[in-house]
Amino acid sequence: MSLLGEFGQIGLFLILVALFTITLVLLPIALRYVGLVPRKPSPAKSSTYECGMQTIGETWIQFNFRYYLYAIGFMLFDILAVFLFPWAVGFRGQLKAFGFIVMGIFFFILVVGLIFAWKKGALEWK
Amino acid sequence: MNWYLISPQLSLGALALIIVLLDLFLKEKRILGIVSAAGLALPFGFALSLWGHQETILSGMLAVDGFSLFFCFLFLGIAFLTLLYSTDYLPRIPRLHGEYYALILLSTTGFTFLAATGELISIYLALELSSLPLYALVAFLKDEKSTEAGIKYLLLGAIASATLLYGMALMFGLTGRTELSEIAQALAAGGIREPALLLGVVLLIAGFGFKMAAVPFHGWVPDVYEGAPTPITAYISVGSKAAGFAVILRVFYQAFGQPAWLHADWSLTIAVLSAITMTLGNVVAIWQGNIKRLLGYSGIANAGYLMVGLAAASNIGRSGVIFFLVAYTLANLGAFTAIIAISNKIESDLIEDYSGMARRAPALALILALCLISLTGIPPTAGFMAKVYIFSAGIQAGFLWLVIIGVVNSVISAYYYLRVVKVMFLSQPSSEEGVPSSGALRAALAITALGVLLFGVFPYVLLHLAENATLLP
């Protein structure tokens, strides 16, 4: 089958998915207009049900902005881990000493980044 | 593999790392500047010892040849001058001086890698390595304008990267290879005649056009130039442009030289873009009252002239581009260096505030005038010879109409360049105070002024080097 044909199948499914979603969203609205769905709100109905708690204050609270520094620091070691896995698998095969040294250099560069963040106080929660 | 072949890039990266580490333990930040500038001797020495090599490494990902080494020297020179003239500006930035030096060095590492790439993925990686530090540097002042410029540069740069990646994906999809030489072989076989190929080429032009500041991908230029710290503006104006042209020269000449119809197509596309770029840059520059914005639009116009050599698609066009880049780099850096010193004193970037500068600071005004004259292309400066070479390459390639537009544009540009000179030399000064400058800044001024004059009077030295650099395998 041609490339376009193969993608065509995906396109077909996309159309199906779109139709399905639109129907599910529009169906209750349409039924309500037809009059099949009654709407009679009461205080008991719209109260928080069973396991819910009454909220205190606004939902739009301010998170500590410093959080992003941890996110960046996490990224650093996330990427290190991503590279470490294939390296560890290939280590016993062909990489040998060369692989060890190269990974050491890579590791060193990341550690410099960590020391930098540490010294600059990015790890303190102030 | 032979690591020695990429020692200039590796040593430059290591230097940046050392600066980061030193910054943590040193109180006196001036030492970092000295170490950075002196440390550039190491990659310079390595590049010098590699001169004459003609090899590819990492299975074609990087190429060490005259072309990459020539640009390596150019980028090292730019970084050196940037570090020199930054000394007068840095007191205006309250903190993070260590990061400032390290980011400049990292960006230069990216540029030198970019000049040596021979393969699509490494081109993308090198491009990102050079751009990411620049985004941070543009926003370095942390005031309103600088931050806005940084965000604009980051967002538009990300879009340009995406466009470039899309173009590369199409190239890979059509040819099945990422190495430029392999793509060239696949295309030269002539079997690929698809609209997607043209789309890929256009997307690549768009991605690289952002770096070169070519219309219609120039939207970021005026705002970023105005908002960024002036030394960084200077660095971007020459570094980013040189990198853009270096990579597009290699990709288009090496990969898209064959078949003939493809060659004719992209050559004409670039010729038309070139005409639009230089006209828009020059016409809009006339109305600018801020000298940094003026040089921004002048940078767009110069990208237009440079694209004449790119469109000419011949060896002489290529050496013309390289010659022009060096001449433009010297003149532009010289002009910006003078602007840094002057605006430090008068705390304004408006051209009208430069009135009578010739009496307040004769040497600065004279060199600024010399650099602006070189940008206009009046002899005996390097800018004149650069325009002669690049336009003659255009005529040889049959783009007579483009060269005529280029010459008309040069005349238009004389108006706004010489207006600055007129304000400095013929208007009355607002005060009699002199303009102080450090020794490092004066050294940078002297180097650029000498270069502009030297390559204007003895262009053969540089042209010989440029011709050597363009002999690709």
Inform me whether the pLDDT recorded for B30 exceeds 90. no
- The reply to whether A7 touches chain B by the CB within 8 Å rule is no
Q: Taking the model in full, what pTM does it have?
A: 0.87
pLDDT in the model for residue A4: 67
Helices B439-457, B382-396: axis angle to 10 degrees equals 40
Supply the mean pLDDT for chain A.
83
Model confidence band, residue B1 (pLDDT cutoffs 50, 70, 90):
low
Model confidence band, residue B205 (pLDDT cutoffs 50, 70, 90):
very high
* B24–A116 C-beta distance less than 8 A: yes
Model confidence band, residue A100 (pLDDT cutoffs 50, 70, 90):
confident
Tell how far CA A92 is from the center of its chain. 34
Closest among B322, B281, B319, B326 to B300, alpha carbons compared: B281
Residues of A in contact with B20 (CB under 8 A): 112, 116
CB B414 within 8 A of CB B367: no
* Mean per-residue pLDDT, B417-433: 87
Supply the mean pLDDT for chain B.
90
- The reply to whether A115 touches chain B by the CB within 8 Å rule is yes
Model confidence band, residue B408 (pLDDT cutoffs 50, 70, 90):
very high
Closest among B292, B301, B284 to B145, alpha carbons compared: B292
Model confidence band, residue A122 (pLDDT cutoffs 50, 70, 90):
confident
* Mean per-residue pLDDT, B46-52: 88
pLDDT in the model for residue B473: 46
Inform me whether the pLDDT recorded for A2 exceeds 70. no
* Mean per-residue pLDDT, A74-102: 84
Terminal alpha carbon distance of chain A: 61
Residues of B in contact with A119 (CB under 8 A): 24
* A115–B17 C-beta distance less than 8 A: no
Q: How many CB atoms lie within 10 A of CB B14?
A: 18
Residue B119 pairs in a beta bridge with B179
Percent of chain A with pLDDT over 90: 12
What ipTM was reported for this prediction?
0.76
Q: How many CB atoms lie within 10 A of CB B399?
A: 25
Residues of B in contact with A98 (CB under 8 A): none
| Beta strands in B295-357, from DSSP E residues, in sequence order | none
- For residue B416, the number of C-alpha atoms closer than 13 Å in the C-beta half-sphere is 25
- Which of A112, A114, A118 is the best mutation test for B, with the most CBs of B within 10 A? A112
Percent of chain B with pLDDT over 90: 60
Picking from A11-25, B183-197, B218-232, which range would have the lowest pLDDT averaged per residue? B183-197
CB B372 within 8 A of CB B335: yes
Q: How far apart are CA B364 and CA B448, in angstroms?
A: 12
Picking from A14-28, B145-159, B270-284, B425-439, which range would have the lowest pLDDT averaged per residue? B425-439
For chains A and B, what is the number of CB pairs under 8 angstroms?
A: 11
- Which of B6, B18, B20, B22 is the best mutation test for A, with the most CBs of A within 10 A? B20
Q: How far apart are CA B451 and CA B328, in angstroms?
A: 11
Inform me whether the pLDDT recorded for B472 exceeds 60. no
What are the residue boundaries of the structural domains of chain A, listed by start? 9-40, 64-126
Closest among B201, B115, B193, B114 to B164, alpha carbons compared: B201
CA distance A119 to chain B (A): 7
Q: How far apart are CA B403 and CA B394, in angstroms?
A: 6
- Most confident by average pLDDT, B2-11, B341-350, B386-395: B386-395
Model confidence band, residue A50 (pLDDT cutoffs 50, 70, 90):
low
Percent of chain B with pLDDT over 70: 99
Q: Which residues of B touch A (CB under 8 A)?
A: 17, 20-21, 24
**pLDDT tens-digit series, residues B84-106:** 999 888 888 878 888 999 999 99
- Structure-token pair, residue B8: 């200039």
For A120, the closest chain B residue by CA position comes to: B24
pLDDT in the model for residue A94: 77
Inform me whether the pLDDT recorded for B65 exceeds 90. no
